[in-house]
A and B are shown apart, each in its own frame.
Chain A
Amino acid sequence: MPGHSDPGFDTLALHAGAAPDPSTGARVTPLHLSTSFVFESAEHAAGLFNMERAGHVYSRLSNPTTAVLEERMAALEGGVGAIATASGQAALYLAIATLAGAGSHIVSSGALYGGSHNLLHYTLRRFGIETTFVKPGDIDGWRAAIRPNTKLLFGETLGNPGLDVLDIPSVSAIAHDAGLPLLVDSTLTTPWLMKPFEHGADLIYHSATKFLSGHGTVVGGVLVDSGAFDWEAAHAKHRLFPELCEPYAGFHDMVFTEESTVGAFLLRARREGLRDFGACISPHTAWLILQGIETLPLRMERHVRNAQKVAEFLAGQAAVESVGYPGLATHRDHALAQRLLPRGCGSVFSFNLKGSREQGRVFIETLKIFSHLANVGDCRSLVIHPATTTHSRMDDAALAFAGIGPGTIRLSIGLEDVDDLIDDLKRALKAASK
């Protein structure tokens, strides 16, 4: 509520974390392309390295431009802070690696972006971290999958590609009952459509490549902490979070929860994960994402309006078997979406074409406005065939588990005139039906 509280969303999207540059008067956040920053004195240098003083040392750890992006995203999500990363995948990995190690276990929604599924199912297993996948709507399944060594629960706010709406209030309650945090990928919803912290999530990450940037220009990610999860209380019960609650030999035997009651997770993630794994964002990328965020409210409003109209159009076509958009009453999570996503259900969704894989090929290749490529959240409309691209590493059973069929087509609806988009789809459907 604007007034005697934080400013409103649109104001924060323009101002949070930024002010006119004190040295030059520049109104727009300057782009600080500098690897490193001069110390005022030997004492100042030592103080920065010992976390006695705040400031920038080296742009892998922090950078003035990047920090504006981090603070802005924390403000928009309602968190305590954020860490920008080289990509959304880097943000996911940073979140997991800060909490989990060999012998750890994760409970995850099975409806994930293919790259996230790959990380959890194949890559992290190689490092001793196991994942149990559950159907996002199977609330009892979430609870049953938790083991004594489970470190976190994870899901996407809108599951890829079937747009299962994650019941964050229910899943977070299960997580918290077990003394565990809930991490969500909020890429497809952005804080304009949903603020997962308000529903109980503890950690959020975004592929900022998508709607936050909004223009298909750069790859980046951001990890945000609510500051609400009580790591100490959870650790006292189950001893699951020594990384945050016990001395860390890798940084002066620091106990992060003692240093910062609500910022411990981000301290560790920056002081370990960003420092050691090094998947930092380029300040130039951060700057471009900031430009995108300034217009996020305007763009998201148009994205969801266009998407709703396109989804309704497709739902009425004889050549279309089904449309997986929660904004439609036919979607299994429509009621949940109305509760959690009152502003709209994003602009990325899938539908199933009737007919063969060849008809799918014709459909995609006939489209003129929609670009056939592996991205979503661009201001331009996009299309892809998940079974042969983004999710091609999954076997048939995993594809079916994720709700992907051979005729599934994923659309990312952009900001064009919606009538033009519908005309384009009409032409392609007609061509595919011949």
Chain B
Amino acid sequence: MKRTVNDKTAYAYTGGRVFDPALPSLVLIHGALNDHSVWTLLARSFAHHGWNLFAVDLPGHGRSEGPALASVEACANWVWALLDTAGVKQAALAGHSMGSLIALEAASRQPARCTRLAMIGTAYPMKVSDALLATARDMPLKAIDMVNAFSHSGWAAKPSYPGPGAWLHGGSRALMRRTLAGHPAFNLFEHDFRVCDRYANGLEAAAKITCPASLLIGERDQMTSPKQTAALAEALKARVSRLPAGHALMAEAPEQMLSALRAALQ
């Protein structure tokens, strides 16, 4: 689905389905230097089983026109603006990593429109180490390799994603490289990391959330440590699900993610 938001092309994967106002809606928001394709299996499943599905490409990522927005707050406003163009009145919001902060902030800005909140591979605050920020700035390709190593808990997650025969590290690296290459004169990796690092409204936003919230955490996550979710979980009164995966939960544990997200959206 392509729409125009703030005079820029905005894209959301819909699983090949057209919007049905009688169905509930679900928005999936990707993380740093990613795009909608990190959700493919999950997105397709929800799109074909009772949901209007919008797996967005954030501005400057994938098929959505840039520039990349400067803050979590700006991205949150953009999400609602995109849904406005599609005629969506209410939606469940789910996000991964940076996208989880955007989902949180979006839910807090229009709490009456958010039916469920699911934060996946999340932590608050989502601080990025100075060393990683510097590497993302100076050697983004090296930083991609580092993040890939941190994000995957092993070398053989089965049955792999989006299917058997896919090498998860390679797929993640290729997607991040492709997304980075979309901005020859701009370091989107450093930008996205700084968006995560700067976000300071998490607990205030959580206090405004009125819908049921869930945290879906990778047991072996080295990017957003499970230890850094306690305050957020308490503020949201969230149900916490721990999955056998690292930070790349959708790829490493797609079946468990599907079950956990279904439960979170009930």
Which residues of A does B touch, CB under 8 Å?
Answer: 1, 3-7, 12, 15-19, 47, 50-56, 62-64, 66-68, 70-71, 74-75, 78-84, 226-228, 230, 252-255, 258-263, 266-267, 270
Q: Quick one: CB contact mask for B133-155 with A, threshold 8 Å, 1 for yes?
A: 00000000010011011100011
From the candidates B158, B165, B254, name the one contacting A82 in the complex (CB within 8 A): B165
Report whether B155 and A75 are in contact in the complex, using a CB–CB cutoff of 8 Å: yes
With contacts A4-B150, A54-B41, A228-B174 known, is A81 near B165, CB below 8 A? yes
Residues of chain A with a CB closer than 8 A to B154's CB? 19
A contact patch SS: loop
Max chain A Cβ within 10 angstroms of own Cβ: one of B40, B145, B258: B40
Whether the Cβ atoms of B45 and A81 lie closer than 8 Å is no
Q: Which residues of B contact A227 (CB under 8 A)?
A: 170-171, 174-175, 178
Contact between B170 and A5, CB atoms less than 8 A apart: no
In the assembly, what is the distance between CA of A55 and CA of B16, in Å?
22
A260 to B168, CA, bound (A): 13
Per-position 1/0 for B74-106, Cβ under 8 A of A: 000000000000000000000000000000000
In the complex, which of the residues A51, A258, A262 contacts B163, with contact meaning CB atoms closer than 8 Å?
Answer: A51
0 or 1 for each of B208-239: is its CB under 8 Å from A? (1 = yes): 00000000000000000000000000000000
Kindly count the residue-residue contacts between A and B in the assembled complex, taking CB atoms under 8 Å apart.
Answer: 155
> If A259-B37, A259-B44, A260-B40 touch, does A54 touch B161 (CB 8 Å cutoff)?
yes
B162 & A252 in contact (Cβ 8 Å cutoff): no
Contacts A54-B159, A54-B162 given: A75-B169 contact, CB under 8 Å? yes
Q: Check if B16 sits within 8 Å of A263, measured CB to CB.
A: no
Closest 9 pairs (CB-CB, A-B): A227-B174, A74-B167, A70-B165, A5-B145, A62-B164, A52-B45, A67-B164, A81-B166, A19-B156
Assuming the contacts A75-B167, A259-B37, asked whether A53 and B149 have C-beta atoms less than 8 A apart, the reply is no
Q: Is B192 an interface residue (CB 8 A)?
A: no
Which chain B residues lie closer than 8 Å to A79 at the CB level?
A: 167, 170, 174
A74 to B49, CA, bound (A): 33
CB pair B160 A261 closer than 8 Å: no
Contacting residues, chain B, for A267 (C-beta < 8 A)? 162-163
Whether B171 pairs with A67 at a CB distance below 8 angstroms is no
CB closest residue in chain B, given A63: B164
| B-side contacts of A16, CB under 8 Å | 155-156, 167
- Asked whether B35 is an interface residue with its Cβ less than 8 Å from the other chain, the reply is yes
Q: Which residues of B contact A6 (CB under 8 A)?
A: 145, 148-149, 169
CA separation between A253 and B165, bound complex, in Å? 23
Starting from the known contacts A261-B35, A261-B178, 11 additional A-B residue pairs (CB-CB under 8 Å) come to: A51-B162, A53-B255, A63-B164, A64-B164, A74-B165, A80-B171, A253-B16, A259-B162, A260-B162, A262-B174, A266-B165
Are A7 and B35 CB-contacts (below 8 A) given A62-B165, A70-B165, A227-B174?
A: no
B177 within 8 A of partner (CB) = yes
- Cα distance A167–B240 in the bound complex, in angstroms: 54
